[in-house]
Each structure stands twice: as structure tokens, then as C-alpha cells.
């Protein structure tokens, strides 16, 4: 329709344009009409003068006016006509426009309604999908929290912690230190750190904020104890400013702190700090993972760095932080940013180096909150955990309950009483198997088995005489359970010194423990024990008889019915004058012969069913024995508590250099080629020993 209107409109536009081009000013039109009228009047006047003979100004004026009006009217008629037509076209165009607008509005409304329906349906579908995805995410998050278990559980989840028991622990590589808050639509995320597998954490705070950090660290320690297997994590606490006050609660509320924590006190003196840092460095330097696994992790806590730190100690701390994580050593450092002594200034380079590669948590005084620098979950507000109240009454006394359960477990794990009630021992199926203690790395006990193969001998090294004697006595007990006197014979060399015997052993036994066993199992002993007073005469004779038995067996005088022989030497260090090479005295020929026979028994006896079990307080006692590479004679080796670092290194041939803690021992088996830490079983009492031996004897 608009196209149909365009042609006449263009014509009118041309007419008007032409008219306006000619008469650009309104007076031009009047002058033109007036000029034309005057011209016509002159012509008419001449005609009238000649033909009608009329004259007169009035008539001329009237004629001029009329002609002018006629000329103007004709021109204005053309304009009026064009104007009328334009108005008509304008009306038609306006109506067409209104109609088209109405049509367009109708179409637009329909389209808008359609789009709105699609939008509403799309939003509904998106919300449905979002809800499904959120449900999946919530389900995955719930599953993740279940997998984390107690490692990620809030202390306030009382219903969850009520079910906690030491048996529920597992080696979780992540540990919660707080919570991350985002918004109301998202769950509260646990703030996790890769502890105790090896990480570095630096806290920087002051005043009341530092107290919150101390509470968070106590919470982390308690959570590690509650979630990691017993003895899996060993702690070292450096707390000179508060004299150990940050961690004293862990020592005051349990009787087995050294067993559970791996230490009996906090380090507060400069020299003690330096020595322990050096021990950790030695451990890291000689660390070799067993089958890619880290059996024992270490957590070093340093409060108020650099209090009581020398420049040398600070350098050692840096070396531990740089190299420790790969060896399972985590370092947690708390820095008081108020620095009242200004000692921090000279340690600024050390602090900056510590911050690199560490989880850095700082206190924002302006916003009164902690900030996790470069957090893997950006945008969350960090709130550190608070340790459960130490003085809360039951049943809210979670702190004390965890420590009580751990102490009870530590005492139970070192007791062999429950083991002899197990079906495995009752069935007597695993012949030759010896249970040494409860492993710290898994739920299975540390065991060894004596077979008629080369080098199946046992060597115990360390000054923990009580543990050594219990292992030897229990070895006799286990073998007496499996074998009759016709299948097993025991030979005892007990060289302990009465006045140096540990007090707890004198309380446990009314008399010599080996005498107790000899009296209870007389058929297993074909000859009396060799003791220190009779050692010079009896030990050479015993070794001669056993060497002759070995020679007969090597000559073919051995059958399946031949009994296995077990030589128990308790206190090899006291037999040095007889068994060491190069010793010269009046009886040197006798002793030299005894030493050579002892070496022959060690090197060749086990494959003929003659096994040797030895305890010595130091490894050097064995080094003086004759024969080459005497250590290779022992496929089974145990480092006891209070073993020196040098002895541990030699005993395990560099596989481990870290001496075991109190009520702990380290066990090496040539079958596994790895070192395993364990709690040695102890004999509860002489009465229990007598009852158990009688119960298993026919």
C-alpha cells in the first residue's frame, strides 16, 4: 500500500517543489501576479480605448485587482489541491501505519508469548537439570565426606564422634584444619591439608588470633591421633615460649604419651632443638620408601618461630621443609607477627623461604578473619577448627575419651594375652611362626617363620632388655605350642647381670624368666642354661656339642624326624671374651675354637634346622665375632628402643636410620627387604606365662 501511494506523492512533491523553486519568497508570487495583471490591463485598456472608447482609472484599478486575485487564486488553488491530496495521503498512510502497527503488535505479542513459554519451559528444564546436578554433587560431596570419615568430620558432629573407636582408623592422606564458607546454597567445605603424608604449613598471626591458631593445631594433632593407625605418625613439638604449654594436654591426659605421640616432652632448649632437627635431617637423608609407601610419618611443630632458634637451626629447619615432604615429614610453623623481641628481622630470609611452597595462612586484622593464600578453593571464608574442650564433662569429653581409648589400645597392643586366645594359635596351623608384636603400618602383626633354610636366624639389638627377653621367651612359647619336645629342643645362654636387670622385669618375675620356662617345659631342655658365672666352661662345651650335631647333620645324619634346635643367647655383649676374634689369654685356644664353632653354627646351622636367636645391647658385639659378613647370617633383625642411630644404620644396611620410640621396635625381614615398625608384645606376668604354658602342653 505504501508503494501505491509513493507515485502520486512523488508527483505532488514535484509540483510543490517546482512552485516553491519559482516562488522562493511570498512577495515574488504577488509581484508576478501584479505584473501579469498590469500587462493585461494595459492590453485591455488599449483595446477598450480604440474599440469601446471607455476610459477611467477606477475601471483600470478594479480590473487590476480582479486579475491579480484571479492569478493568485489559480496559483493557490494548485497549492490547495496538492495540500488536500497530501493530507488525504497522510491520512491514508496514517491509517495504513496504524493498521500495520496493530498487525505487527499482534504478531509481536504472539511471538513474545511463544518466546515466553519457551523461556519458562527452558528455565524449568534448566532448574530441573540444575537440581539433578546439585543432587548429584551433594551426593558426591556426601560420599566424599563419608570417605574422609573422621579426617573431615566436624567436632560438633556429636552423633558421628560417639561411634568413634580406634579400630575405625585408616591412613587418610588429607586432614581437616577448618571450614570454608561460600554461600547458603553450597555446603560447608572442610579445609583440608595433605597431612601427614608430607606438607609444610606456615601460620602468621598475633595476639588472640595466635591463640586460635594454637587451638587449631591442637585440633589437628588430636585428629591425627584419632584417624591414623597407632604409631603411624610420630610428633616433635618445639614450644620454647610456653614451655610446652601448647601440647601439655596430650601428655597430661595419657600414660603412654611416648608410645602414642612418639615423644615424651616438648623441646624448649636451643640444644635439644638443634639435636632433634639433625635427627630428622638424618632420617630424611637416608629415607628409602618401602614399595613406594611411607610406613611412618613425622610431624614437626614449631611454635613462635624463631624463639630459641640459632641461625644454624633455622637452616636445618629450611632443609627439613624443602626435603621432608617426600620422606613423609610435615612441618608446621607458627610465626608471631607482633615479634616483641624483634628477633624475627634477622630471620626474615628464612621465613620467606619457608613460605615458598608452603600452605600460608595469615590473619587479616582489618576483616578479623584468616586468609588462606593461594587456596585451591578461592572465594571461601576460612574458619579454623577449635579443639574440643579438654575439661568438658562426659559424654562431651571427646578430647579425653580419644586419649583414653588410645592409651588402652597401646597397652592392649603390647600384650600378647589376646593373641594366645585367637583361633589361629589355638589351631596350631602356622608351624614355626613367631609373633613379634603389633605392626604400626597395618593391622597385621609383625611375624617371622623359622624354616630349614639358610640364614633363618634372629638378631635383636638395643638396650631395651625387657623387650628382648620377652621376645626370646615368647619365641620359646610359640615353638612349644607348635612342636613337641621330640620336634624342638631349646638351648639357653643367659648372660644377664642381676644388678643391672631392669626393675620392671624383677617385678614381673619372681625369679629368672628362663628358669621359669625351664621348669615349666623341662622336656624341651636337654641341658641346663649357660649363665654368666659358668660361661667360661659351659659355653665352649655347648658350642662344641651343637657344632658336632651340625656336622652330623651335614654328613647326612638328618631326617624329617630330627628335632629343630634353637640356641637362645641373652646378652651377647658379655660373651665377647670367648666369642670375639683375636682375644688372647691362657685359654685362647679353647675360646678361639669356640668362636670358630659359633661362626660355623651361624653360617650353616639354620639350613640344617639349628637356629640362633641373639640379643645384644650393641651391634659392635657381633662385629667382633669371627667369620666374614656375619650380618648376612640373620635374615631377621630387630632394633629395639634406645638403639643408637649408628647401630640402626648398620643393622638395616641403610634402609632406616631412625631409632624406634618408646615401646616400639623396628623389624627387618630379608623376605620382604623392608623395615617395619611395631609394638613388641610383652608378657603380662609370670602367672600368665605359667598358665599359658600349662594350657598348651599335653
Q: Alpha-carbon dihedral of residues 78, 83, 89, 95, nearest 10 degrees?
A: -160
For residue 394, pLDDT over 70 is answered with yes
Cα separation, 28 vs 36, whole angstroms: 12
Cα separation, 443 vs 168, whole angstroms: 11
When the pLDDT of each residue in the chain is averaged and rounded to a whole number, the result is: 82
Q: What value does the mean pLDDT take over residues 576-585?
A: 63
| Top mean-pLDDT range of 397-406, 451-460, 640-649 | 451-460
pLDDT over 90, % of the chain: 31
User: Which residue's entry shows cell 601427614?
Assistant: 196
Poorest-confidence range of 249-263, 323-337, 450-464, 540-554?
Answer: 249-263
The full DSSP string for 545-579 is: HHHHHHHHHHTT---TTSPEEEEEEE-GGGGHHHH
Domains defined for the chain, CATH in brackets:
2-145 (no CATH), 167-410 (3.40.50.300), 429-696 (3.40.50.300)
The full DSSP string for 79-97 is: HHHHHHHHHHHHHHHHHHH
Cα separation, 600 vs 594, whole angstroms: 10
How much is the pLDDT for 292? Answer: 57
**Angle formed by the axes of helices 465-482 and 686-696, to 10°?**
20
Poorest-confidence range of 116-125, 409-418, 499-508?
Answer: 499-508
How much is the pLDDT for 252? Answer: 81
491 φ/ψ angles, rounded to the nearest 5 degrees: -130, 125
552 φ/ψ angles, rounded to the nearest 5 degrees: -60, -40
Cα separation, 662 vs 665, whole angstroms: 8
298 or 286: which leads in pLDDT: 298
How much is the pLDDT for 506? Answer: 43
Q: Per-residue pLDDT tens for 438-462?
A: 887 666 788 999 988 999 999 999 9
Which helix (H) or strand (E) segment holds residue 646: the answer is helix 645-651
Q: Per-residue pLDDT tens for 261-270?
A: 888 789 999 9
Prediction pTM value: 0.62
> pLDDT tier at 348 (50, 70, 90 boundaries)?
confident
Cross-strand partners of 439: 678
For residue 366, pLDDT over 70 is answered with yes
- The DSSP output letter for 290 is B
The CA-CA-CA angle for residues 119, 120, 121, to 5°, reads 90
Q: What value does the mean pLDDT take over residues 17-24?
A: 66
Neighbours of 299 (CB within 10 A): 26
> pLDDT tier at 505 (50, 70, 90 boundaries)?
very low
622 or 273: which leads in pLDDT: 273
For residue 305, pLDDT over 80 is answered with yes
Which helix (H) or strand (E) segment holds residue 223: the answer is helix 208-227
Q: Per-residue pLDDT tens for 74-86?
A: 666 666 676 677 7
How much is the pLDDT for 339? Answer: 65
- The DSSP output letter for 106 is H
What residues have CB less than 8 Å from 326, skipping those under 6 apart?
198, 287
Amino acid at each position: 500500500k505504501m508503494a501505491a501511494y509513493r507515485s502520486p506523492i512523488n508527483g505532488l512533491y514535484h509540483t510543490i517543489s517546482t512552485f516553491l523553486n519559482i516562488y522562493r519568497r511570498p512577495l515574488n508570487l504577488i509581484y508576478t501576479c501584479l505584473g501579469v495583471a498590469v500587462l493585461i490591463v494595459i492590453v485591455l485598456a488599449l483595446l477598450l480605448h480604440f474599440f469601446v472608447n471607455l476610459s477611467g482609472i477606477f475601471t483600470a484599478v478594479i480590473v487590476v485587482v480582479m486579475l491579480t486575485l484571479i492569478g493568485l487564486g489559480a496559483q493557490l488553488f494548485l497549492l490547495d489541491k496538492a495540500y488536500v491530496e497530501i493530507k488525504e495521503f497522510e491520512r491514508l498512510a496514517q491509517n495504513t501505519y496504524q493498521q500495520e502497527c496493530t498487525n505487527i503488535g499482534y504478531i509481536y505479542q504472539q511471538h513474545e508469548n511463544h518466546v515466553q513459554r519457551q523461556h519458562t519451559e527452558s528455565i524449568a528444564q534448566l532448574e530441573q537439570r540444575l537440581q539433578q546436578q546439585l543432587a548429584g554433587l551433594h551426593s558426591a560431596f556426601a560420599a566424599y565426606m563419608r570417605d574422609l570419615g573422621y579426617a573431615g568430620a566436624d567436632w560438633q558432629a556429636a552423633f558421628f564422634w560417639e561411634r568413634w573407636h580406634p579400630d575405625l582408623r585408616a591412613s587418610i592422606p588429607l586432614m581437616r584444619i577448618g571450614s570454608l564458607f561460600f554461600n547458603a546454597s553450597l555446603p560447608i567445605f572442610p579445609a583440608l591439608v595433605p597431612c601427614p603424608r608430607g606438607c609444610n604449613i606456615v601460620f602468621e598471626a598475633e595476639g588472640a588470633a595466635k591463640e586460635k591458631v594454637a587451638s587449631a593445631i591442637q585440633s589437628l594433632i588430636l585428629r591425627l591421633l584419632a584417624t591414623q593407625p597407632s604409631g603411624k605418625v610420630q610428633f616433635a613439638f618445639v614450644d620454647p615460649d610456653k614451655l610446652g604449654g601448647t601440647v601439655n594436654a596430650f601428655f597430661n591426659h595419657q600414660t603412654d604419651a611416648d608410645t602414642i605421640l612418639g615423644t615424651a616432652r616438648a623441646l624448649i632448649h636451643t640444644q635439644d632443638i638443634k639435636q632433634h632437627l639433625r635427627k630428622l635431617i638424618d632420617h630424611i637423608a637416608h629415607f628409602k620408601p618401602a614399595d613406594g609407601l611411607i610406613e611412618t610419618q613425622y610431624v614437626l611443630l614449631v611454635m613462635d618461630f624463631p624463639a630459641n632458634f640459632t641461625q644454624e637451626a633455622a637452616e636445618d629447619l629450611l632443609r627439613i621443609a624443602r626435603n621432608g615432604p617426600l620422606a613423609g615429614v610435615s612441618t608446621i610453623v607458627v610465626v608471631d607477627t607482633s615479634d616483641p623481641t624483634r628477633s624475627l628481622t634477622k630471620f626474615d630470609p628464612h621465613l620467606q623461604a619457608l613460605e615458598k611452597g608452603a600452605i600460608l595462612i595469615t590473619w587479616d586484622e582489618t576483616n578479623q578473619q584468616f586468609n588462606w593464600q593461594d587456596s585451591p578453593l578461592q572465594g571461601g571464608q576460612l574458619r579454623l577448627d577449635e579443639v574440643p574442650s579438654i575439661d568438658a564433662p562426659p559424654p562431651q569429653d571427646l578430647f579425653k575419651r580419644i586419649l583414653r581409648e588410645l592409651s588402652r589400645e597401646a597397652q592392649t597392643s603390647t600384650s600378647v594375652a589376646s593373641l594366645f586366645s585367637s583361633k589361629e594359635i589355638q589351631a596350631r596351623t602356622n608351624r614355626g611362626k613367631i609373633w613379634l608384636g603389633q605392626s604400626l603400618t597395618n593391622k597385621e602383626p609383625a611375624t617371622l617363620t623359622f624354616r630349614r633354610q639358610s640364614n633363618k636366624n634372629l638378631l635383636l639389638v638395643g638396650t631395651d632388655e625387657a623387650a628382648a627377653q620377652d621376645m626370646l621367651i615368647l619365641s620359646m612359647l610359640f615353638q612349644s605350642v607348635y612342636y613337641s619336645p621330640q620336634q624342638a629342643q631349646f638351648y639357653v645362654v643367659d648372660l644377664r647381670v642381676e644388678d643391672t636387670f631392669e626393675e620392671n622385669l624383677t617385678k614381673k618375675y619372681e625369679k629368672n624368666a628362663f628358669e621359669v620356662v625351664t621348669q615349666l617345659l623341662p622336656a624341651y631342655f636337654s641341658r641346663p642354661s649357660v649363665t654368666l658365672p659358668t660361661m667360661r666352661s659351659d659355653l665352649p662345651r655347648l658350642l662344641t656339642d651343637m657344632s658336632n650335631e651340625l656336622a652330623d647333620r651335614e654328613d647326612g645324619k638328618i631326617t624329617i624326624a630330627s628335632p629343630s634346635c634353637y640356641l637362645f643367647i641373652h646378652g651377647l655383649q658379655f660373651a665377647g671374651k670367648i666369642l670375639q676374634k683375636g682375644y688372647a689369654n691362657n685359654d685362647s685356644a679353647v675360646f678361639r675354637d669356640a668362636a670358630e664353632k659359633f661362626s660355623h653354627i651361624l653360617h650353616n646351622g639354620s639350613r640344617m634346622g639349628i637356629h640362633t636367636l641373639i640379643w645384644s645391647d650393641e651391634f659392635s658385639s657381633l662385629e667382633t665375632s669371627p667369620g666374614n659378613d656375619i650380618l648376612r647370617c640373620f635374615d631377621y633383625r630387630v632394633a629395639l628402643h634406645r638403639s643408637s642411630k649408628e647401630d640402626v644404620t648398620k643393622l638395616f644396611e641403610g634402609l632406616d636410620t631412625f631409632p624406634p620410640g618408646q615401646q616400639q621396635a623396628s623389624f627387618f625381614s630379608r623376605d620382604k627387604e623392608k623395615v617395619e615398625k611395631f609394638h613388641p608384645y610383652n608378657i603380662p606376668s609370670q602367672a600368665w606365662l605359667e598358665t599359658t604354658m600349662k594350657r598348651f602342653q599335653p
